Structure 1
Amino acid sequence: MSKNLRIWTAAILLVIPAVLIYFIASTPLENAPPPEEPEQEAKVQSFPEDYDWIPLPDMDLKNPGNMYELPSLTTEAKNVLDLRSLSDHQVQVNGEDVTGKDSYPLTVETISDEDFITLTVDGKNHHIRTLPQGLSGYTVDNKGAEDGFYYFTYGDYIVKMNASGQIVYYKNLGTAYSFDFKLNTTEDGKKYYSYLVQNRTEEKVKVIGYQTTKAVIMDEHYRVVDEVDSLIPTDLVEPEPLENHDFLLLDLGHYVVSSYYAETVTNIPAHIQQKPGGANVMAAYLQEIKNQEVIWEWKSTEYPEFYEQSVEHNDFTNEHAAYADYMHFNAITVDPGDHHFVVSFRNLDSLVKLNRNTGEVMWILGGKGDQFGLTEEQQFRRQHKVSVLSDGSLLFFNNGNVLPVAPYPIVPEEDPLRKEQAETTIVKVRLDEENKQIESFESFPTGHFSATRGSVHMLDEDQNIVLIGWGSGENNEEHFTEVNLNTGEKLLTFYPHDEDLISYRVYKFAE
């Protein structure tokens, strides 16, 4: 072999492995997992230092002895009082001199009718209730409920209360239209509180069961760390306030929100009686946002098959209501098994699974569009608050309406439906989703009826212990009840001081 040939052969032998290594490294493996996205810091709003300071009441400083209240208080963290309104006065809080300070971190041991805060201004004592009158007078009957904390809305307040009936946190939101106060725990163990609160007092559309709201997210010390007061605009929607039914916090800056849209549509099937030229309907809209970007959205009017599945508020002629609220979204949850969404639509009598990637309808349970062959005895009506249990079962609050609440359809006076007795039940059902079959179905009677709202939260799957929020509770004085579904034993009952107060939802968590 010549010297030049030996050189070329050696070069080729060196190059070929390098090319192969590059090719292999550059070719994606068919079964390789997708590359992980780099961790991004959550994009959330920033708030000034004094955003969560608690303002002092407007006091008559010349006349001591009056009793006052604070808009918020907790026994679990420092309560930062805003003292700036008393900057020109000598001030003590519970005997401690705070003159000249802008704020004061107050520690409160208990919140009760017997405990007060003494605010001394220029030598005169003024007293502040730890428990506002608007929260006083409730009754808690604990007959074996384990320790934990109940989260609920109560008049103008959001409230966290322990199993002994002692409030450990409250906040007056200035409106009875607050919803879904709860504790959220992220995958990495971080804790956040969240709630929805009315942010626009005028009705967007009259005689529709929605409120315009914003979502408020607080850290474990009750400091606001983010707020969501509008949808992010897309090709489907303009910026709009959220609505009140549900809010999912998956992580800080990662949320699932909802709204409703008044639309005139022309895609209703021709065999359905409708307004010529287009019917006015309420579109249900869901949006998943992460770091202020929309990563998934779904709008009901893009799926015309649902028009004929509606059972209430479905006058598409618009003769009985300006807009047909034919779907009425009221709950959403993530199925931990496949990470798709299970959604409740009250006016379909249906739970619907939506693909989290494509938005396609994966299945429908209940109502006219039922795909699982529910028997007449298994059918549910106007349900609320669905969740997925550890074995994949669905748990939900079946309001059980017989008559519509909406202005349409109209039930004649002589209709036998008017003589039927409505009852709310708690339903637990396990599905064979692939074959569209019912694997197991349980319905637990409650002896009560709630025509609107209401919730159920599973506390102990082994013993079947749940917490029921009674919603409108037409024939029930209880605000919420912890109960063993197997035995019917009531472990804890909360009675409000005013039976007209309505519990939208209630939760219980260990902390």
Structure 2
Amino acid sequence: MKIKNLLKIVFLCSILFVSGVFAKQVFASQSKSKKTLTITVNGYDVTLSKEGIFNSQNVKQLNSTNQNSITIKNSKSVNSVKIDDKEINVNDKSTFKLKEISSSSKIKISVMYSGENSYRNYYINSLSKDFPKYTVTANSPYDGDYYLTTHNEEYNFVFKLNNKGNIVFYKEVESNPFDFKKITTDDGKVRYGYLLQDKDSTKRISSVGYSPTYLVILDENYNEINKITMEKNKNIESGTELENHDFIYINDNHYIVSSYQKSKATNIPSNLNKGNSSYVVNSVLQEIKDGKVVWQWESIDHEKLYKESVEQNNFSEKSDTSLDYVHFNSMTIDPKDGNLICSFRNLDEVIKLDRKTGEIIWTLGGLGDEFNLTDNQKFSRQHNARITDDGYITLYDNGVKNKSTRVIKIKLDEENKKVTEYRSYDINDYYKYMGSVQEIDSEKDVFLVGTGGKAGEKQDLVAMEKDFSNDKVYFRFSFKSGESMYRCYKIQ
């Protein structure tokens, strides 16, 4: 009995040994035959090593509106490459077009390596698996694409959706993006731009609600062509970071940008500072043309703004914390006269600035109001002042005073300082921070609203296109994470 058991053990050990040797040989053979394809897709490197649809990989940027570029980096080890069964040039940059971008759509890359006579198939996700989960409904009768950004997600993106709610472009970015939009320059070129948070935390002014950024410009094919910061002028050094709220891009050599700067204020009225020289956040606007500053505006040059501040204005208290007493958050060029209409959240004011002298032309709202707004017409902590094609100002009134957010549309008689028309549209909710509004139909009450953010709450809505006259929503977007979004646009 003992001999039989011993023979069984010897037999099993022999089987295991042979199996081990065989397995080792198989794995060694597989490892030896393993091949790797290194490619660049739309400027970003990708290494493909695992075959099969279940091993599909992400890329940083794709679109279904234009051609996508691809370059084979290890072309010397490759005989042939096909993209979705269409052969491409392995020795030069090639292009391919996507029918769609979706979580279920893959791009097949077939490769025949040197010394082989069959193709190996790799797969790329048309929509990155890192893209945050979202919900969208879209049935708008108005043409245009929606331009949106993520905010504080694990992975951040700028992206656009078509009128059916399908993603047609996305680009993964390394930090929070803001204000992504399509631009048609004054000389007819198509550009795309967004502000990107600078990851260097030492550049941030502490305890202030903003992000240091730089402006990224893409060409008509979504290729990055420029990164823009401030230029040297007065107390501003070249390369100084921007802030995240807005920019105006006139053409490739002409733009208006903004920055927040920590400054020691020496001109605060004595009845406000009681002898204390406070640090404040100086809102700086620069118009740059051909690399030179042609106009610069600074909030600290205007003494009256100190007494009109309604938040972050404890000038008499000694502190190293910078007081964000004006908080610039939007600018737009008035086509009538070329001057700038700007929104300042912590003043509750929209101010028109002379684009030559820097003087304040008029003030709407807040303590400096020159248009005699009624209590119902007054707004608080507003964002995104814009001019419509027919000369109205639209405004996203966050409504901090009444804890009720709304859209405002207002017509001004600037010469006589009068309000000639006024309309408001309730959001039926309260969004304390951020937000935007864009008029979609001037003859009807249709607006695209970026809701902004709630105070410390998750939210189930970040953007909607709504006809307020019949309470009909044509577009609705939200992140499943409950995160917010700074601003959105609809652009043809």
Tell me the TM-score normalised to structure 2 length. Answer: 0.84
1:134 counterpart SS class: coil
Moved more, 308-317 or 128-137: 128-137
Do the aligned partners of residues 64 and 478 (structure 1) sit closer, same or farther apart at CA in structure 2, a change above 3 Å counting?
Answer: closer
1:111 corresponds, among 85, 91, 101, to 101
What does residue 22 of structure 1 align with?
A: none
What does residue 415 of structure 2 align with?
A: 434
Map 1:73-472 → 2, pairs under 5 A: 73-84=62-73, 88-89=77-78, 92=81, 93-97=83-87, 100-101=90-91, 103-121=93-111, 122=113, 123-135=119-131, 137-154=133-150, 155=153, 156-175=156-175, 177-203=176-202, 204-228=204-228, 230-239=229-238, 240-273=240-273, 276=276, 278-317=277-316, 322-402=321-401, 422-472=403-453
**For this pair of structures, how many residues does the alignment match?**
439
**AA aligned opposite 1:507:** Y
Cα offsets for 1:439-497 (capped at 9, x unmatched): 12212111011111100011110112110011114574112100113333212212323
Moved more, 457-466 or 52-61: 52-61
Do the aligned partners of residues 99 and 489 (structure 1) sit closer, same or farther apart at CA in structure 2, a change above 3 Å counting?
Answer: closer
What does residue 29 of structure 2 align with?
A: none
1:431 counterpart SS class: strand
1:52, distance to aligned residue in structure 2 (A): 8.4
Distance (whole Å) between structure 2 residues aligned to residue 99 and residue 395 of structure 1: 51
RMSD in angstroms over aligned alpha carbons? 2.4
Do the aligned partners of residues 464 and 195 (structure 1) sit closer, same or farther apart at CA in structure 2, a change above 3 Å counting?
Answer: same
Do the aligned partners of residues 484 and 99 (structure 1) sit closer, same or farther apart at CA in structure 2, a change above 3 Å counting?
Answer: closer
Moved more, 314-323 or 178-187: 314-323
Distance (whole Å) between structure 1 residues aligned to residue 224 and residue 40 of structure 2: 8
1:226, distance to aligned residue in structure 2 (A): 2.8
Identity %: 32
2:346 counterpart SS class: helix
**AA aligned opposite 1:256:** I
Cα offsets for 1:250-303 (capped at 9, x unmatched): 122110100011011211000013563x21111000011111121111001111
Do the aligned partners of residues 64 and 467 (structure 1) sit closer, same or farther apart at CA in structure 2, a change above 3 Å counting?
Answer: closer
What does residue 472 of structure 2 align with?
A: 489
Distance (whole Å) between structure 1 residues aligned to residue 84 and residue 132 of structure 2: 23
**AA aligned opposite 1:127:** Y
2:201 counterpart SS class: coil
2:304 counterpart SS class: helix
Distance (whole Å) between structure 2 residues aligned to residue 153 and residue 242 of structure 1: 18
Distance (whole Å) between structure 1 residues aligned to residue 312 and residue 319 of structure 2: 9
Cα offsets for 1:317-366 (capped at 9, x unmatched): 45576110101110000111111100000000000000011110011111
**AA aligned opposite 1:57:** V
Distance (whole Å) between structure 2 residues aligned to residue 51 and residue 305 of structure 1: 55
Cα offsets for 1:57-109 (capped at 9, x unmatched): 34444898412111000112221124326754566233445585353312211
**AA aligned opposite 2:95:** P
Distance (whole Å) between structure 2 residues aligned to residue 318 and residue 480 of structure 1: 40
Tell me the TM-score normalised to structure 1 length. Answer: 0.81
Distance (whole Å) between structure 1 residues aligned to residue 381 and residue 274 of structure 2: 24
Do the aligned partners of residues 83 and 433 (structure 1) sit closer, same or farther apart at CA in structure 2, a change above 3 Å counting?
Answer: same
1:376, distance to aligned residue in structure 2 (A): 1.6
Distance (whole Å) between structure 2 residues aligned to residue 376 and residue 475 of structure 1: 31
Moved more, 118-127 or 66-75: 118-127
2:300 counterpart SS class: helix
1:237, distance to aligned residue in structure 2 (A): 2.1
**AA aligned opposite 2:487:** R
Moved more, 58-67 or 249-258: 58-67
1:443 counterpart SS class: strand
Distance (whole Å) between structure 2 residues aligned to residue 297 and residue 388 of structure 1: 22
Distance (whole Å) between structure 2 residues aligned to residue 135 and residue 458 of structure 1: 29
1:111, distance to aligned residue in structure 2 (A): 0.6
Distance (whole Å) between structure 2 residues aligned to residue 85 and residue 198 of structure 1: 34
2:234 counterpart SS class: coil
CA contact (8 A) 1:449 1:475 kept: no
CA contact (8 A) 1:180 1:506 kept: yes
What does residue 486 of structure 2 align with?
A: 504
Unaligned runs of at least 5 residues, structure 2: 1-38, 114-118
1:133, distance to aligned residue in structure 2 (A): 2.2
1:143, distance to aligned residue in structure 2 (A): 4.3
Distance (whole Å) between structure 1 residues aligned to residue 78 and residue 323 of structure 2: 58
1:307, distance to aligned residue in structure 2 (A): 0.7
CA contact (8 A) 2:278 2:319 kept: no
2:310 counterpart SS class: coil
Do the aligned partners of residues 85 and 275 (structure 1) sit closer, same or farther apart at CA in structure 2, a change above 3 Å counting?
Answer: farther
1:114, distance to aligned residue in structure 2 (A): 2.1
1:68 counterpart SS class: coil
What does residue 34 of structure 1 align with?
A: none
CA contact (8 A) 1:262 1:280 kept: yes
**AA aligned opposite 1:113:** S
What does residue 25 of structure 1 align with?
A: none
Distance (whole Å) between structure 2 residues aligned to residue 56 and residue 296 of structure 1: 41
Distance (whole Å) between structure 2 residues aligned to residue 87 and residue 281 of structure 1: 60
